[in-house]
Amino acid sequence: MTQKNYGKAFLQWLSQPLVWFLRQRRGVQAVFLFAVMLFPLFIFIATVALPVARNPFEAKADHEISENAEALPDSTPAEILTGRRDLAQKMAELEIKQAFSLTRLELAKKDSIGLVIDLLDSTANLEVKGVPMRRCKILRYRHSGLARRLRRQGRLHQWLAAPFILQKELATLPKAPIRIKEAPKDTIEAAESKGEDLPIEQSDAEFTLQFDRNLTLSVEQAQPPELAGRMREFWYDLRRYFDEARDAVIALVQLQLPQHRLWIEIELSREDAKAIYRALPARAALALRL
């Protein structure tokens, strides 16, 4: 069979469902269309439309701002509006700064190691008792469009006003590279085991931290992964998406709406990423500024 014939056969195979559909009676066509649309429509409404309409970030804001909204008449000149907008923007930035400083001080009261991320300064610090132990440079970052939306509304500081607490984590590297060693029975066995080389630990470090208040922080290493690391990265990505889909299904089964997570992706050097992941304890706290 020539290449042209293969192409023709493939097109024929592709068009078969359409041909099949067009040859049906109107009633059967209607039933088929209804059946095709039923599940996707339900999933779209339950996991996309409703969570967007009732997202926890904006719900409160509109109610609060509406108290002041009517005081500004529509006929207000543009330059006054611009001046007010600038001032409002400055206020919003100061409020974010204040929220960040308060959160850092809150973190400093805790005994455990916390993470302080300042996207405006492109820094990620490991802190304990307010002392920065490791200062890492964020090489690149991206975040959800929802954050920009909240910023424009001047409501971001409310969300950042308290430390975020770590709930769940997923990574390409183990939290602790534990090796089990059985105690030798005698000195001969002990001498034999002494010669064993130290295992070389795989060094790629990418991880996702899920915090409360719907925040997801993904950390990627700047260096491309090694060959084995690419496979691990593939499974890690697959697992990340699968977990999100699974959480949505669980929420639907419990007759709840899946909640949209505000995500942040940062890129660090491999060493920084590894140090941060290994240092963070369970239920670690995060102070964030963006």
Partner 1 sequence: MNINTTADDKTPRPASALNDASPAEEKAAEPVTPSVASAPAPPAPASAPKALLLGMSLGLLAALLMLWFAPVLREWMFAVLPESKFALQLRTTDIKKLQKEAAFLEKRVAALQKKHTQITPRLPYLIVDTSQNRIQIMKGDATLHEGVCSTGSYVLLRAAAQQRQWMFVTPRGMYQILGKRVNPVWAKPDWAFIEEGLPVPPLGSPERFEAGVLGEYALELGDGYLIHGTLYKRMLGMPVTHGCVRLGDEDLRLVYKNLQIGSKVFIY
C-alpha 266/C-alpha 178 separation (Å) is 27
φ, ψ of residue 250 in degrees (nearest 5): -60, -45
Q: Which of residues 90-119 bind partner 1 (CB under 8 A)?
A: 90-92, 94-95, 97-98, 101-102, 104-105, 108, 111-113
Which residues make beta-bridge pairs with 219? 207, 266
From residue 266 to residue 285, what is the string marking binding to partner 1 with x (rule CB under 8 A)? -----x--xx--xx-x----
Choices 158-166, 187-195, 206-214, 220-228; region in contact with partner 1 by CB under 8 A? 187-195
**Nearest residue to 181 via CA among 170, 194, 172, 167:** 194
- Least CB distance from residue 230 to partner 1, whole Å? 22
Q: Is 253 a binder of partner 1 (CB under 8 A)?
A: no
**Nearest residue to 269 via CA among 221, 204, 233, 225:** 221
Q: Is 120 a binder of partner 1 (CB under 8 A)?
A: no
Instruction: Give the count of beta carbons closer than 10 Å to the beta carbon of residue 287.
Output: 25
Q: Which of residues 218-237 bind partner 1 (CB under 8 A)?
A: none
CB 204 within 8 A of CB 229: yes
> Strand locations in 28-138, DSSP E?
114-118, 123-128, 131-137
Q: Is 2 a binder of partner 1 (CB under 8 A)?
A: no
Residue 169 or 271 with smaller CB distance to partner 1: 271
CA Rg, the chain, in Å? 27
Q: Which two tokens stand for residue 234?
A: 């593939």
Q: Is 134 a binder of partner 1 (CB under 8 A)?
A: yes
Which residues make beta-bridge pairs with 240? none
Q: Which of residues 17-76 bind partner 1 (CB under 8 A)?
A: 19-20, 23-25, 27-29, 31-40, 42-44, 47-49, 51-52, 55, 58, 61-62, 65-66, 68-69, 71-72
Among 1, 2, 18, 145, binds partner 1 (CB under 8 A): 145
Among 1, 178, 253, 282, binds partner 1 (CB under 8 A): 178
- The residue to which tokens 């260096």 are assigned: 223
C-alpha 92/C-alpha 94 separation (Å) is 5
- Least CB distance from residue 164 to partner 1, whole Å? 18
Choices 138-146, 162-170, 217-225, 228-236; region in contact with partner 1 by CB under 8 A? 138-146
**Nearest residue to 171 via CA among 235, 216, 254, 88:** 235
Q: Is 288 a binder of partner 1 (CB under 8 A)?
A: no
- Least CB distance from residue 242 to partner 1, whole Å? 8
- Least CB distance from residue 236 to partner 1, whole Å? 16
- Least CB distance from residue 200 to partner 1, whole Å? 11
CB 160 within 8 A of CB 215: no
Q: Is 290 a binder of partner 1 (CB under 8 A)?
A: no
